[in-house]
Structure 1
Amino acid sequence: MQANEKLSQLMQRGTDLLGSETAIMCGAMSWVSERNLVSAISNAGGFGVIACGAMTPDLLDTEILETKKRTTRPFGVNLITMHPDLMELIAICGKHQVSHVVLAGGLPPKGSLEAIKETGAKVICFAPAMALAKKFIRSGVDAIVIEGMEAGGHIGPVATSVLAQEILPQIADQVPVFVAGGIGTGEMIAAYLEMGASGVQLGTRFVCAHESIAHPDFKKAFIRGNARDAVTSVQVDPRLPVIPVRALKNKGTEEFTRKQIEVAKLLDAGEIEMGEAQLQIEHFWAGALRKAVIDGDVENGSVMAGQSVGMVKTEESVAEIIKSLTEEAIVALSR
């Protein structure tokens, strides 16, 4: 069998599920995974995913409309399970007949999976552990994403390679599984496909695409950065169960430590409740990320990046990125 045929065969479950030419999903990166990058990735044969993040239903409504103006190919919407308007956001996805909804950030609230299914969309869930993956499969999800700690943004505690070894042999025959976290080359894509994955998800690799609206200084920080620069945030107070965030080390990472101390003091004084404390932390990240991505303040903002950032060497088009990843995977499989 030719190596390109083998690649298509290994990705077939993934491409069948996504409706794309190649089973390469783009990670949902707040402020980055918006209409321009998402449509470009889908148009280039990959699968773009809108990062809803903290968007209101009205903002998501507009974003989906604008993405549909730019592509006729399938794309998904990533929704955060803790969003207070989750059910409204699901309804917006249904209104626009979005083909795939990706749920991230923990266990979906009661009724949310059913609500997505009723719209006719496929449901993809993040599973950072085997028990959760099995629970999602029992709940009827259509695919799983396993993401390791090498990824950028909010991360779990376990490495991608460990998750892949633990989870793929157990569930890859039941639902398509996409592997994410620290993937920067086609060789790595081929390796995970041969382990049983149906596809992969990459975020960091697409940040410096021409079609990405990230500020030029944000992109320059990626091109300069290496794996050791992408560090995880520190949790200051055990009462504030902050999900670690991986970003390039700068003054902003130090500012986050100060923010946690400030919020902890407010908790001590009884001035805020725990829910409000956690919300303040999340709002900090949203603002700090916007400061870096949109305003280009890469010193004080949050430059969220995965450890594969050292493999991002230049700015190029989405089509070039997908082409090089595919060609590298084919070469690897031909060996």
Structure 2
Amino acid sequence: MSNYSKTHALMQRGREFLGTEHAILCGAMSWVSERNLVSAISNAGGFGVIACGAMTPELLDTEIAETKARTDKPFGVNLITMHPQLFDLIAVCGKHGVGHVVLAGGIPPKGSVEAIKEFGAKVIVFAPTLALAKKLLRSGGDALVIEGMEAGGHIGPVSTSVLAQEFLPVLSEDHLVFVAGGIGRGEAIAGYLEMGAVGVQLGTRFACATESIAHPDFKKAFFRAGARDAVASVQVDPRLPVIPVRALKNKGTEEFTAKQREVAGLLDSGAVEMAEAQLQIEHYWAGALRRAVIDGDIENGSLMAGQSVGMVKEEQPVADIMTQLMDESEAALSRR
């Protein structure tokens, strides 16, 4: 086994918190972060996280059971705070003795953190601002992920490097902070660890792993793409709010912009009411991620990807990706 003494020393608190060999989380990617990829990440010494997304409690129950059948290592579950059955999903995690629950997509509703703590699990939270981070950590968050706008999927407006400089000097001594967004190589991991992070989270780098069930055409789109192909969705009209999502540009992203213009025109002419107009925009991408990941419709589906996509060049087993990242980090720290 390779000697990662320098990297492991800086990751020590993160490794103890996760119960893993390496403090590397795999970001929860809907349709991608399921039993196969999650168990492979955990078996390779990292920390896999099931993306619950819009799953029903019954589906999550099966997914956790199937993941446990494939690994005896720790893994977590990512729950969306706006899910209408959030407390039922938390109960499913409790039933299976899940050790870590990640709450994403908004401020955790009242009682949710307490419900998770009740069965002894740790709570991992996201925060886009320092003030909110402090509040969530005071309210029971055991660890924090700061994610920059280079990440794939739903993003905030600030880059990873700026967030790291803002959050880590203030929080890293007393709290566990993981850094995410645009990380594709071990040198970057080493840099954030030296700044005070206890570990990192990567998504895009693992999306096309051999163990990922993503469609071959989805993976090929990643291999062809460069960093500037992963663009944030554009909001055409302030009356029609669009939550920024980073994905590879394709026919679907172009048509979404055209759709916004069309709906804004209908709104101007009085042909539709505001609520109906906003609903049309909101529903445009319904099912688009599944179309891309599972069906391989790379023209009309949503190819959510971070800007590190340019570093994803081929299909590799998770274990090889993990070894490469750790080797690069250790080499970088040894050169210091």
Report the TM-score when normalising by structure 1. Answer: 0.94
Instruction: Give the Å deviation of 1:266.
Output: 7.6
- 1:25-104 matches, within 5 Å, as 25-104=25-104
Q: 1:177 to 1:96 in 2, by over 3 A?
A: same
3-state DSSP of counterpart to 1:179: strand
CA shift digits 1:41-75 (9 cap, x unpaired): 00110000001111111111111111111111110
The reply on whether 1:163 has 2:163 as its aligned counterpart is yes
Q: Residue 14 in 1 paired to residue 9 in 2?
A: no
Answer whether contact 1:3 1:331 (CA < 8 A) is retained: no
SS state of the match for residue 331, structure 2?
helix
How far apart are 1:242 and its partner, in Å?
A: 2.4
Q: Name the CA distance, whole Å, in 1 between partners of 2:46 and 2:210.
A: 16
Number of aligned residue pairs: give it. 332
Instruction: Tell me the equivalent position of 2:184.
Output: 184
Q: Is the 8 Å Cα contact of residues 234 and 257 (structure 2) preserved in structure 1?
A: yes
Closer/same/farther in 2, CA of residues 229 and 300 from structure 1, 3 Å limit:
same
C-alpha displacement of 1:286 = 4.6
Structure 1 residues not aligned, in runs of 5+: none
Secondary structure, in 3 states, of the residue corresponding to 1:285?
coil
Mapped to 2, the partners of 1:82 and 1:142 lie a distance apart of: 20
Gaps of 5+ in 2: none
Q: CA RMSD in A?
A: 2.0
Query: What are the Cα deviations for residues 168-211 of structure 1, in whole angstroms up to 9, with x where unaligned?
Result: 00001121100000000000000000000000000000011000
Is the 2:57–2:85 Cα contact (8 Å) retained in structure 1?
Answer: yes
Separation in 2, partners of 1:281, 1:118: 39
- Counterpart AA for 2:12: Q
Query: Following the alignment from structure 1 to structure 2, what is the Cα–Cα distance between the partners of residues 73 and 319?
Result: 14
- Deviation at residue 215 of structure 1 after TM alignment: 0.4
Distance (Å, rounded) in 2 between the aligned partners of 1:172 and 1:5: 21
Verify: 1:307 aligned to 2:307, yes or no: yes
Distance 1:316 1:288, change over 3 A: same
Identity among equivalent pairs (%): 76
Query: Are the aligned partners of 2:76 and 2:98 in contact in 1 as well (CA < 8 Å)?
Result: yes
- 1:11-52: CA deviation from partner (whole Å, max 9, x where unpaired): 011111111110000000000000100000001100000011
The 1-side partners of 2:294 and 2:182 are apart by 24
User: Contact between 2:241 and 2:278, CA under 8 Å: does it hold in 1?
Assistant: no
CA contact (8 A) 1:3 1:334 kept: no
- Please tell me whether the aligned partners of residues 42 and 74 of structure 2 are also in contact (alpha carbons under 8 angstroms): yes
Which residue is 1:107 aligned to? 107
Whether 2:278 is the aligned partner of 1:250: answer no
What are the equivalent positions in structure 2 for 1:230-241 lying under 5 Å apart?
Answer: 230-241=230-241
Q: CA deviation at 1:249?
A: 0.6
| Change in CA separation of 1:240 and 1:110 when aligned onto 2, cut-off 3 Å | farther
**Aligned counterparts of 2:123 and 2:232: Cα–Cα separation in 1:** 29
Residue of structure 1 in register with 2:228 after alignment? 228
The structural deviation recorded for 1:82 is 1.0
- 1:136 aligns with 136
Specify the code of the residue in structure 2 equivalent to 1:76: G
1:268-323 per-position Cα deviation (integer Å, ceiling 9, x unaligned):
6666748x946x65554351111111111111111111000000111100000000
TM-score by length of 2: 0.94
The CA distance in 1 between the partners of 2:241 and 2:295, in whole Å, is 29
Matches within 5 A, 1:324-335: 324-335=324-335
| Aligned residue runs from structure 1 range 270-289, under 5 A | 273=275, 277=278, 284-289=284-289
